[in-house]
Amino acid sequence: MIVSLVVFVVIVALSLPSAVVFIPLAILTGNVEPLYWVGCSITRVGFFVAGIRIHLEGRQSVPAGQACIFMANHVSNLDPPALIPRIPGRTSVFMKRSLMKIPILGICFRLGEFIPVERGGSVHGAQESVAAARKVIESGVHITTFVEGTRSPDGHMLPFKKGPFYLAMQTGAPCIPVSIHGTETLMAKGKFGIKPGTVQIVFHAPLHPADFATREELSEAVRAAIASGLPEWMRA
């Protein structure tokens, strides 16, 4: 718990002055890139202070100069801050709408074109989220989604949500399966304490929606790729 408190203090100490400078700058110039990369840098510092190392594999397989949909498994609250700063280029993210209401952070999420999702929401709400995501991809920005829709309580892979695969089939954007493990022991679901250790992130070769007849076939291919980068016990 002491480590978590130190990390929190460091992140707040860095975030407040950065917000004072870079949020108004993003609003005035319409350019969110400096704010985005400052946020990623603060996250990296937080991981360093926590004693968490990131081991990456396969990032060279991500297509250059093309908006992609990154599809990862989800086992811990540490997954987004571990993954997002390691994605080459700026990415938007599907996230719970309630998170958009967090002071300061909510402003940053909206400026970064993060896409709010209502968990267990209506079909209309899901369609709105997919339409917003399509506009983001068409603007050249990546999308990152944790395709199980929620954190696994025990590390085993859960069923995938359908929305990301509708989006992929509609846009034709390359899908990059991503395997994450290690975070489930550093900050388990329902826990607030952070432990030092190593996180493994594997970027797999892109899967192109045009090569699949249905979204179900694409979903199975993404699942197989993610599972291949996880320990055997996580492959439910």
> At 98, which CATH number?
3.40.1130.10
Contact 91, 143 (CB under 8 A): yes
Number of domains forming the structure of the chain = 1
CA 189-143-53 angle, 5° bins: 50
Mind listing the pLDDT tens digit for each residue in 124-163?
777 888 888 999 999 999 999 999 988 999 899 999 999 8
29, part of any domain? no
10, part of any domain? no
Model confidence band, residue 213 (pLDDT cutoffs 50, 70, 90): very high
Q: 9 pLDDT exceeds 70?
A: yes
Q: 121 pLDDT exceeds 70?
A: no
Considering the entire predicted model, what is its pTM?
0.92
130, part of any domain? yes
Query: Between residues 213 and 119, which one has the greater pLDDT?
Result: 213
Q: Print the domain residue range for 101.
A: 53-234
22, part of any domain? no
Helix or strand holding residue 29 (H, E):
helix 2-29
Q: What pLDDT does residue 119 have?
A: 67
